[in-house]
Homo-oligomer: A and B are copies of this chain.
């Protein structure tokens, strides 16, 4: 007999393999069970339902991504603005690449989004805490001057939504997406009015590449 926790991870491994290969819809609980030489009913001793297996997989992945983002957010020596931009940029590119690599991930994301929207909100909330931290840092260092950090973080996240799940909102290719990302980020950070400046020309290589493509 294996420990309960081991069994759970074994189920997750088997499910991941099938989800990646055949997709969520075309994977049956019976198949996952068969892979582990058990009966379908037994899966329900470890997970309340099929969707919860997907959720656990997504959880795992999100945790890794969250660590990456935390690392970016707390990169020492870099100005807050730069870290903020890198933060959202990494978010966009990681998601884009992952979905590009295997479109099954996209299916999973869509299913989770429609069947467990609150879970998505939870992830967004967690990520927002990082943004709040960054903004607060910026306020403390004098880089930003914000009356309400939490509100600004929410708005920033809202404006960046389309770059967070790129393929969900648009079918632009990555270079075109990065061009838009750079442009919109520039606006969000420095605005249209006044204050044109040094940082405006950052990441221009990305723009040039996008226009060539």
Contact = CB atoms under 8 A, between A and B. Distances in A.
A200 B146 CA distance: 10
A195 B194 contact: yes
B154 A193 contact: no
A191 B184 CA distance: 10
Contact of A180 (B135, B147, B155, B169): B155
A186 interface: yes
Nearest to A169: B169
A6 interface: no
Contacts of A138: 192-193
A196 B145 contact: yes
Contact of A184 (B135, B158, B180): B158
Nearest to A188: B187
B192 A135 contact: yes
Nearest to A183: B155
Contacts of A145: 194, 196
Contacts of A200: 147
A207 to B, nearest CB: 9
A110 interface: no
A143 interface: yes
Interface string A72-101: 000000000100100000000000000000
B193 A81 contact: yes
B192 A152 contact: yes
Given A188-B188, A200-B147, A183 B158 contact: yes
A196 B139 CA distance: 12
A84 to B, nearest CB: 8
Nearest to A184: B159
